[in-house]
């Protein structure tokens, strides 16, 4: 039986992989990439986006999503 923490970690890793794959497939469409990557990460319990998310520049949104994705895809030590 998996512990709840492991379940959350697995879900975050799965979402991170899907997000990374979508980022590759979206090519130069930055708006679409950010929109859907955010939507993927919103499925992770405990992960929240700031109220002013929609007012942030695309570069800041990408930077933040890349940071979450990096954490999601880190290998366990």
**50-72 confidence digits (pLDDT tens):** 999 999 999 999 999 999 999 99
pLDDT band at 1 (very low <50, low <70, confident <90, very high): very low
Assign 10 a pLDDT band (cuts: 50, 70, 90).
confident
Domain boundaries, the chain: 4-72
- Residue 14's alpha-carbon distances to 42, 52, 53, 56, in angstroms, are 13, 26, 23, 26
CB atoms within 10 A of CB 34: 21
């Amino acid at each position: 039986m998996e512990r709840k923490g492991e379940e959350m970690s697995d879900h975050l890793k799965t979402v991170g992989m899907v997000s990374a794959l979508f980022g590759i497939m979206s090519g130069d469409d930055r708006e679409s990439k950010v929109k859907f990557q955010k939507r993927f990460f919103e499925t992770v319990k405990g992960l929240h986006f700031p109220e002013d998310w929609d007012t942030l520049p695309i570069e800041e949104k990408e930077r933040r999503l890349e940071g979450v994705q990096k954490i999601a895809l880190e290998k366990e030590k």
